[in-house]
Every structure is written in C-alpha cells, then in structure tokens.
Chain A
C-alpha cells in the first residue's frame, strides 16, 4: 500500500528535503504534492486527495495554524491527518497545533527515522506499511 502526501512549506529546499527524507525512510509514497503556503495547500486539496499533510507553521500568506483551522472547519478535509513540521519547539506551540487538530509534530532539524516513525503512527500503519487492525480513532481516518 502506498500513500499520497501533501508537503506544505514556503522553502523549495525544505520541501525537497522532506520529500527526500520520506523516500530514504522507506515510507511508501505514491504521489507527492507540494504547496508553498496554506492557501496553495487548500487549492491543491480541492483537486487532489491525499492521505497525509505535512505542514510548516511559519509561512507567508496563510500559515500552518490558519491552514489547520480551515481544515478543521471543512467537512471533507477535516479527517486528513496533519503533521506539523517546524523549527518552533515550544510546548505551548505544540499544544496549540494539537488543539487545532494536528496529529503529529516534528521538530526541525529532523532525521529520516523520526519522520518515518511519526508518519506511520499518524496514518496508523505498521512497519510494512499496512494498516494496523486496531486503529485508535485519533490516528485513523475514514475513506
């Protein structure tokens, strides 16, 4: 089983790194869609279905928190799990992200292992990339 991933970051280089790190980690990625901010992410989501969103916080036009709010308020998009990937590492910022619906949090700088672990946890798949039988509601989403 492979997954569609949306990477949201205003830095081209960081999007490329995240994409590369996901590939190196062994995570089975089918389609990788990229967006430069929250607004572009919503435009991409209007045309593509993704299994998971990986988003930065500090971005121009629409930041990661605003994106989380918009996703939370959308009946079609609210169940897509979001992983926040950011340099901002305060406990309150992390809690703010979880309160807005984020399912995972990755601090930059990161390693491929960390990214893979959080991706699998959030999507609810085992090391072989298959769905675990007993998924908790907070980690799962319905098709």
Chain B
C-alpha cells in the first residue's frame, strides 16, 4: 500500500505542478513541513475502477494571485464568486489530470466540485497522502485519497 501511495503521490504532484504552472502561472515549491494555516478548501470525488477524493487547501493570498494571473483582474475587482469558481476549477483540473495519468483508458466519473470557506480537517488515513507547497503567491496543500488501487 505504501509503495502504491508513493506512485499516486508522484502522479498527483506532477498534476498539481502542471495545473498551477499552465493555468495560474505559479511555480510551486514542495514544503517538507506540514502547514495547517489554510483559509479555504475545494474538493471533488471520483468513481470508476477506483474511487476517492481530491481536496485542495488554499491560503487567501494564493487564491487572489491565481485569479489575478489567470483573469488579469486587479485585487479590488476579485469577487467571492471568482474565489469559489477558481478554487473549484483548480481541484477539478488536478483531479482530471491525475486520473488521466493514473489510467487514460479508464472512465472515471467526477462529482461536481464543492467549496468550503473554512477548511475541513487535514487529517488523512493510510490510503491517502498529503502534499504542501509554497510559492511567491501563497500556499497550497493537497490531500488525495484513493480506494481500490491494486
């Protein structure tokens, strides 16, 4: 199980880098220390031959930077709706990208992403892994849980 989670962690890490680099023009640095100072959360579930959930935790400053970089808006033009939409879109893209890497021949059904203004519990079980990143624009954390991975 531990070895499989390593593979999943590596694939997820690549997906996170790809999404943040390509869509939000942010270069992330992995953090060794776990940070619990996040301000919001977005999550999405997937089902197929395997099932699970991807949760992303964002600091308020990184969401603003993501939106500014992606939409070219000034800070005072950013709305609550932009924050929710961008957070949900980020977790949607990370999950889709990761599942394509996991098995591009398999169809996975993705739920509609959900957004929480307050991040939930950052604890995770043995079939999950957690990654934390820093950037010039702020911090992001990701927890991915996978059930049924052979």
Contacts and interface: CB of A to CB of B under 8 A. Distances in A.
B67 interface: yes
A32 to B, nearest CB: 15
B104 A110 contact: no
Contacts of A92: 105-107
Interface in B8-23: 18-19, 22-23
Contact of A17 (B18, B23, B104): B23
A88 B71 contact: no
B81 A109 contact: no
Nearest to A58: B110
A11 B110 contact: no
Interface in B77-109: 81-82, 85-86, 88-89, 92-93, 95-97, 99-100, 103-108
B99 A89 contact: yes
A17 B105 contact: no
A14 B85 contact: yes
Query: Which of A12, A109, A111 has the most B CB atoms < 10 Å from its CB?
Result: A109
Q: Is the interface of B mostly helix, strand, loop or mixed?
A: helix
Interface string A82-121: 0000111111110000000000000111110000000000
B14 to A, nearest CB: 12
Interface string B98-136: 011001111110101000000000000000000000000
B89 A14 contact: yes
Interface residues on chain A, size class:
20 to 34
Interface string B1-38: 00000000000000000110011000000000000000
Interface residues of B, number: 29
B145 to A, nearest CB: 18
A110 B78 CA distance: 23
Contacts of B23: 17, 108-109
Contact of B72 (A12, A20, A60, A108): A20
B70 interface: yes
A13 B112 contact: no
A58 B92 contact: yes
A88 B72 CA distance: 26
Contact of B99 (A13, A20, A90, A108): A90
Contact of B96 (A13, A14, A16, A86): A86
Given A91-B104, A108-B23, A108-B96, 7 more contacts: A12-B85, A14-B89, A20-B72, A87-B110, A88-B96, A92-B106, A109-B19
Interface of A: 11-14, 16-17, 20, 58, 60, 86-93, 107-111
Interface of B: 18-19, 22-23, 67, 70-72, 81-82, 85-86, 88-89, 92-93, 95-97, 99-100, 103-108, 110, 112
